[in-house]
Amino acid sequence: MNLQKTDPKIYNLLKKEIKRQQEGMELIASENYVSRAVLEALGSVFTNKYSEGYPGKRYYGGQAYTDEVESLAIERAKKLFEAEHVNVQPLSGAPANMIVYSAVLQPGDKVLGMDLSHGGHLTHGHPVTLAAKIYNFVRYKTASDGLLDYQELERLALQEKPKLMLAGFSAYTRQIDYKKFCDIAKKVGAITMFDMAHIAGLIAGKVLPNPVPYFDIVTTTTHKTLRGPRGGMILCKQEFAKAIDKACFPGFQGGPHMNNVAAKAVAFKEASMPSFRGYAKQVVKNAKVLEEEMKNYGFKLLFGGTDNHMVLVDVFGSKGLSGKEVEVVLDEIGITVNKNMIPDDSRSPMDPSGVRIGVPAVTTRGMKEKEIKQIAAWINSAIENRKQKQALNKLRREVTQMCKRFPIPI
């Protein structure tokens, strides 16, 4: 039985989503398109198999091929990121971070992590999360110029003496100095952790420096810039391997999703190819063009600009519109972005001052500098003409025409 016959409602929704993705422009920094090969692995019969445990140490029989798949994924990831040990079982980035916390911390232990509104991630200690109810998070912020102040970070570390110091971000657009960060942690005897979820693909593509040799533990998602399936991964020094594997299973998760692990293995192979390096270079080029064009249109960029794949824009300070309002008007012309808090935002998380704009997905489609300039022009035009339905309809047609010239990989 195929999907169309078994469940026509879901089939029709799937077709509509394909059309939305084909005819719309995806500028959410954490989204991307996987290859046909990754999709095939993700939709494979490996989804039928329970594989609690690790290769060679499973609790169920019938693991000859799942063991090979997971071992391949591990070896490919180790080579790609020069890691001593890799666990590919985390179901996503948030579980990966929780697994690390439970592996190296006791309830009440102190963690120094980046404030969410200054570019950090929800799982880095925001009060609404489970982690913040278990561990004692102290959050550091960026300086008035929007950059990370290492002197202030050192002062805070010496004052708080955390057991774990956490770097990484979801909306910070500048490159972190790995050595400086880890040197500060050494002064207070803290374990070092880096969440590279957003930039893993740029690291694999050799356009950003690799944090793995510097940090004790590195976590990541396998989607976003890495162009793999939605999932997580933990890379660490050998001394933390046993604790992390035990914290993952049986500590936090049951059996891994083996279809997902297979898709990760495929993505890691793709990320090791020369063509992927070309993709990563183009992502950074496109982001710099977007930075300059947005500045030319009078938008205020947080952190002064970008070193990676995205920009964070203060649209309220620039144009008098909230991030939610901009997200809605851009949806009308087929451009998808996400509203986002800016440092010390006076507005609410559901109606913040900023939007986050990323270029990984459009770069995967083959768009380059010329197209990015046009995209910036459309964003500005949509905001300026937001009350003119006819103008927005015209922009929507133009966006759709460009998208049809750059099909998504399905």
Residues recognised as catalytic: 50, 52, 195, 221, 224, 230
With beta carbons less than 8 A apart as the criterion, state whether 336 and 357 touch: no
The alpha carbon dihedral of 330, 331, 333, 337 has a sign of positive
DSSP characters for 147-201? SB-HHHHHHHHHHH--SEEEEE-SS--S---HHHHHHHHHHHT-EEEEE-TTTHH
Which H or E run contains 313? strand 310-314
d(CA 327, CA 320) in angstroms, rounded, equals 14
DSSP characters for 267-288? HHHHHTSHHHHHHHHHHHHHHH
d(CA 342, CA 98) in angstroms, rounded, equals 25
What are the DSSP E strand ranges found in 179-268? 191-195, 217-221, 232-236
Look at residues 93, 87, 111 and name the one whose alpha carbon lies nearest to residue 101.
Answer: 111
With beta carbons less than 8 A apart as the criterion, state whether 323 and 351 touch: yes
Look at residues 328, 325, 402, 323 and name the one whose alpha carbon lies nearest to residue 365.
Answer: 402
With beta carbons less than 8 A apart as the criterion, state whether 39 and 370 touch: no
Of the chain, the end-to-end C-alpha distance in Å amounts to: 21
